Structure 1
Amino acid sequence: MIFLDNEGITNPKLNLALEEYALRNFSADSDYLLFYINEPSIIIGRNQNTLEEVNQNYVEENNIHVVRRVSGGGAVYHDFGNLNFSFITDHDVKSLNNFKKFTEPVIRVLKSLGLDAELKGRNDILIGDKKISGTAQFSTGKRMVSHGTLLFDTDLAEVANALTVKMSKIESKGHKSVRSRVANISEFLKEPLTIEKFRNLLLEGLYEHSAGFETYHLTSGEWKEVHQLKEEKYDTWNWNYGRSPKFNIHRTRRFPVGEIDLRIFVEKGNIENFKIFGDFFGKEPVEKLEKLLKGARYEKLEIEDILKDIELREYFGDIPKIDFIELIYGEDKIEI
């Protein structure tokens, strides 16, 4: 197995691009191991509705990356206290969904540190009743990646803040995350370790039965292609948000002018249908507004741009535009 050096990169979009590039382009003659640590970020499973998983206002205010990965499973929070590992191997029917095979060497190293770690359920590593790792897989049919995250010394308060969704009444076909009781590996260690030392111990332990292992450094040409994949895929709204499964939103709020009731149908991140109901009085028919918003990205900045020159008092009476936009897209101050 060859160790891939990611050169200390902490940008999650670049690390995920590197992982996918290695999966699709590196020689099938060898297996590869990749470690990386990400800046604060939420990594969304391939089949999830992004807005159903993240506290959008919070991630925007705190500059937390939101990135979709190629594998399924639930949303996870990464920061500098979180170590991520990836095994890139040949596709094997017996290995696909066989999380035990790829977690066993990690568990062996954890046990060598005096930790009573074990695989529980389908794909989680626990110490006692606390989850310290989750894993996922993706296969191209020829090659596969089995990757996971190790909570070493992450900010668990931020996990709750970033993944606590307040968006009301979303009905989605996406696969919702199941929250577990989590803990940091550092809490169970008898002697304190830095995450860098932990990474090195893990790397040594994974190769303890090998005569030696090769470290591979990407060429400048390969890095150029990794950056191109990042820019064309992982940097894009279409991948991170637009690939969300279709979902419906029902949001209602009572204003001094009356109740406004919105029914929004979103598919591939775009508003496919937008209906306004309520007991308000207005001069202009709301069908004009509905038509304006139909086809728009379900994204706050785009909605603000569409409505920037619209006089909402013509449709509803005296209502602040910021409050109407909050009703369409925001997360707080909603009365159901």
Structure 2
Amino acid sequence: MRTVPFTLTQAAHQLALDEALLLIAEERTSSEAGASEFIRVWEFDHPTVIVGRSSRVNDEVDVDFCRIQAIPIFRRCSGGATVVGGPGCLMYSVVLDLSLRPALARIDVTHQFVMQHLQTAVNRQFSDAEETAQFQGTCDLTFANRKFSGNSMRMARNHLLYHGTLLYDADLATVARCLCYAPRQPDYRAERAHAEFITNINVDPVQLKTDLIDVFGGHQTWNESLPQERIDALCQERYENTGWNFSR
């Protein structure tokens, strides 16, 4: 697995890079194990709303509040419900090769695989604590029964993209204010409002980034150039296209 080192500043480019890596992986024919697997860990520079590929924006997002606060709304290429990124919210993205990991063709196995890796990375900083990160719902991580990580995936023919959030110092009030009442809720949520349901975890984000890369096996750095042409094309088609972002 290769660690992708690029530091991007534009939110649309961040989302486009995730999809670009999946497309690049699908085009690879290298026999070297892990040559088409990638991991990147990053953050948005500013509060940013990211809706799922099939999400209805007006059902899941307080669009008026976001407009007043100049918080942009984007649609990602993967499924799941809306999340809010920004400072204090670590984002991770992994591209996994199904030929190396055929069991991941089953979605439930994929969720378990990734969540176990995330738990391992997070819990390295809670090894002596009574509370540790737990896997609940379809693909949530919780601490003391409150959610700090939401995740989603996109399955391609030979690879999959799995990405998500890890809240460590996010402005939870802003996160809650951006979101409407969630249309799909896991049972463990027990109908709690966002403010009572989400939480930050007390971790060192620099160490967490290192641990995430380590547990997924990103021990080699991807030394190719930034796929800027692919990013630009995806932004034009999707991520900087109002018709895409507000298609539902």
Q: What TM-score, normalized by structure 1, do the two folds share?
A: 0.61
How has the CA–CA distance of structure 1 residues 216 and 93 changed in structure 2, closer, same or farther, with 3 Å as cutoff? closer
Contact (CA 8 Å) 1:81, 1:155: kept in 2 or not? yes
Q: For 1:76-225, what aligned pairs fall within 5 Å after superposition?
A: 76-91=83-98, 94-95=103-104, 96-97=106-107, 98=109, 99-114=111-126, 116-164=132-180, 176-178=183-185, 181-186=197-202, 189=203, 193=204, 195-207=205-217, 213-219=219-225, 222-225=227-230
1:10, distance to aligned residue in structure 2 (A) = 3.8
Q: Could you report, residue by residue, the CA deviation over 1:148-193 in whole angstroms, capped at 9, with x for unpaired residues?
A: 111111110001111137xxxxxxxxx934366111012xx5xxx3
Distance 1:201 1:108 in 2: 8
Q: Distance in 1 between matches of 2:119 and 2:138?
A: 15
| CA distance in 2: counterparts of 1:176 and 1:71, whole angstroms | 17
Structure 2 vs 1, CA of residues 69 and 145 (structure 1 numbering), >3 Å: closer, same or farther? Answer: same
1:35 aligns with 2:35: no
Letter paired with 1:158: T
Which structure has more relative contact order (CA 8 Å, sep 6+)? It is: 2
The letter for the 1-side match of 2:208 is F
Is 2:20 the counterpart of 1:15? Answer: no
- Say which SS state the counterpart of residue 150 (structure 1) adopts: strand
Q: Quote the residue 2:242 is aligned against.
A: 237
Instruction: Report how far residue 197 of structure 1 moved.
Output: 4.1
The alignment status of 1:53 with 2:65, answered yes or no, reads no
Instruction: Return the alpha-carbon distance in structure 2 between the equivalents of residues 152 and 141 of structure 1.
Output: 34
Identity among equivalent positions (%) equals 23
Question: What CA deviation, in whole Å up to 9, does each residue of 1:11-57 have, x standing for no partner?
Answer: 22111100101101133642111212112111101111112111111
CA contact (8 A) 2:3 2:40 kept: yes
Aligned residue in 1 for 2:6? 6
Q: Does 1:24 align with 2:23?
A: yes
Closer/same/farther in 2, CA of residues 40 and 111 from structure 1, 3 Å limit: same
Whether the 8 Å contact between 1:10 and 1:37 is mirrored in structure 2 is: no
RMSD in angstroms over aligned alpha carbons? Answer: 2.2
What amino acid is the match of 1:202? L
Distance in structure 2 (CA, Å) of the matches to 1:116 and 1:100: 17
Q: Counterpart of 1:100 in structure 2: which amino acid?
A: Q
Q: Distance in 2 between matches of 1:200 and 1:73?
A: 26
Q: Which residue does the alignment assign to 2:71?
A: 64
Structure 1: distance between partners of 2:151 and 2:56: 19
- Partners of 2:97 and 2:242 in 1: CA distance: 31
Q: Secondary structure at the match of 1:94?
A: helix
- 2: CA distance between counterparts of 1:55 and 1:201? 34
- Per the alignment, residue 73 of structure 1 pairs with 80
In 2, Cα distance between equivalents of 1:25 and 1:202: 22
